[in-house]
Structure 1
Amino acid sequence: MTSPAARFVIVRHGNTFAAGEPPRRIGARTDLPLTAAGETQAAVLGRHFAQEGWHFAQVLVSPLLRTRATAAAIIAHQPGGEALVAQPCEWLREIDHGPDENQSEESVVARIGADALSAWDERAVPPPGWIVDGVRRLAAWRAFLKEAQGDVLLVTSNGAARFALLAAGAGAGQPLKLATGAYGVIRRDAGDVLHIESWGIRP
C-alpha cells in the first residue's frame, strides 16, 4: 500500500553569531538565541513560504531555542498559523561536538584536521569525539519521510539536517551543508519515491 504524496521543507535556523563575531562549533549543549539578523532571516523565510502558497499541516522542531524561534517566525506568516503548534523532536536536535563544542573553527581544525572536517561535510562521517548517533537519526528520518502526510515544516540545525538528504538517497556530490536561514525540499510521490527537489535555498 502506497502513502499519499507529501512535501518536506527542511529549514536551518537563522544566525546565532553577530556580524564580525568569530563563528564557533555550537551544537546540542550550546543553546544560543537568534541574533537580530537571524530573526530577520526567519521572518523572510516565513514570508517566502506564504508567498509560495505553502500551508504546513505539521511543524517539527529541534528542542533548541534557535530552532524554536525560527519556527515561530515562520508560523506567524502562515494562514491560520495560530492553530499550528511546533512539536519538539529529539531526533532533530543538533549533534554534540564533544571536545569541539563551542570551540572556534581554527581550534576544531587544529584538533581533528581538515580531512576529518571534509569527511563530515561531504559524507556525514563524524570526526573523533563527536556524538552523532547517525544510525538512529537515519532511521528516524526514513520513518518520517515514509509516513508523514501533507506539507511538513522541519526546523533543525546543519548537523542534523544532512541526515534527511542521506535518508532520501542523496548521491555522491550532493552538498550536505545547509546555510543558516536556508532550506531544502524533499518530496514523496504517490508511489513512495523520494525526490530531492532543492537544497540550500536562501530566499
Structure 2
Amino acid sequence: MTRRRLYLMRHGAVSYFDPVSGAPLQAETVPLTAAGQDQARAAGLLFAAQNVRFDRVVCSGLPRTRQTAAAVLAELPGPQPAIEEVPALREIHGGRLRDIAPAELDAVFTTLQRGPLTDDTRFLGGESLGELWARALPATQRLLAEPWDCALWVLHGVVNAALLSHWVSGGQRLLLPGWQQDPACINIVDLGGPGDALLRAVNLNAQDLLRPQERLSTMEKLLADFTRRG
C-alpha cells in the first residue's frame, strides 16, 4: 500500500481590521502581518530541519496563502516547485459583520465550533457550507487524482477543517465542529485511495508547539477584536 504525504497549512496571521478606523477590511486582499511572516518562516525552518521536500505546492490564490507558501519555501534548500493557485479552495466567504445584531454576535461568530452543522449552515451570515463543498470538494478531488508524493497545501481555517473532516470521516461530505487552526499551523495527513486517510498531526505550531497559555479559538479572538474596535 502506498500513501502520499500532505502537509496542510493555514496561512500566517493577518489583520482583518483597519489599524486607524477599526473598520473591517476586505478579507480577500489582506496581507500577512509581520507576525504572520515570522510564523511562516518558522514553519519553513521546521520543514528544513526535518529534511522535508515538496514536489507539489498549492495555495488558494489569496495573498495571505501565497505569501505564507513563499515564506515557507524560502527557508528550504535548493530549487522548489512553483506555487500553484487553486481559487476554488479560497476561504468560505462571510457576510457583512455590521449586519449582525449585537445580541447574535457570539452565536454567529462561533457557529462552526458547535454542532450540528449542515449544508445550510452559514459562515458569518455569508456563504453556506453547502456552497463551500460545491466548489472545494471537486477541486480537492482533481488535485488528488494528479501525480505527486509529498505536497504542501496552504489554505484557510474553515477550508482545512472541512477537508480534515472529510478525510477522517471516510470521505463523507460533512464538517465536524471543534477544529482549531492557528495561524501558519501544520496538519499532517497520509492519503491513500478513497476513504483511506491517516491523520498524523493537527494544528502544529512551529513557534509554540504545546500552546500552554492558549484557550480561545480563532473565531473567539476575532470576535473580541471586532467588538473592541466596534
Q: Which TM-score bucket, shorter chain as reference?
A: 0.7 to 0.9
CA distance in 2, matches of 1:38, 1:188: 28
Query: Which runs of structure 2 are paired with 1:14-163 in the superposition (5 Å)?
Result: 14-17=12-15, 29-80=27-78, 82-100=79-97, 110=102, 112-122=104-114, 125-127=121-123, 129-132=125-128, 133-136=131-134, 137-145=136-144, 147=146, 149-163=148-162
Larger Rg: 2
CA distance in 1 between partners of 2:100 and 2:54 (Å)? 38
TM-score normalised by the chain length of structure 1: 0.78
Runs of 4+ aligned residues of structure 1 deviating over 6 Å after TM superposition are 23-27, 171-174
- The 1:168–1:32 alpha-carbon spacing in structure 2 relative to 1, beyond 3 Å, is same
- TM-fit CA distance, 1:117: 3.6
Q: 1:200 aligns with which of 199, 203, 225?
A: 203
Question: How far apart are 1:40 and its partner, in Å?
Answer: 0.6
Change in 2 beyond 3 A, CA 1:129/1:153:
same
Q: Aligned partners of 1:187, 1:119: CA distance in 2, in Å?
A: 29
Tell me the SS of whatever aligns to 1:30: coil
Cα distance in 2 for partners of 1:25, 1:16 equals: 12
Give the number of aligned pairs: 192
Structure 2 segments unaligned to the other structure (5+ residues)? 207-230
- Partner deviation per Cα, 1:65-102 (whole Å, 9 max, x = no partner): 1111110011112232x3421001112212211223xx
Q: Give, in angstroms, the shift of residue 145 of structure 1.
A: 4.2
Q: In the alignment, is the contact (CA less than 8 A) between 1:9 and 1:152 conserved in 2?
A: yes
| Matching of residue 184 in structure 1 with residue 187 in structure 2 | yes
Structure with more relative contact order (C-alpha pairs < 8 Å, separation 6 or more):
1
Identity of aligned residues (%): 22
Q: TM-score if structure 2 supplies the norm length? A: 0.70
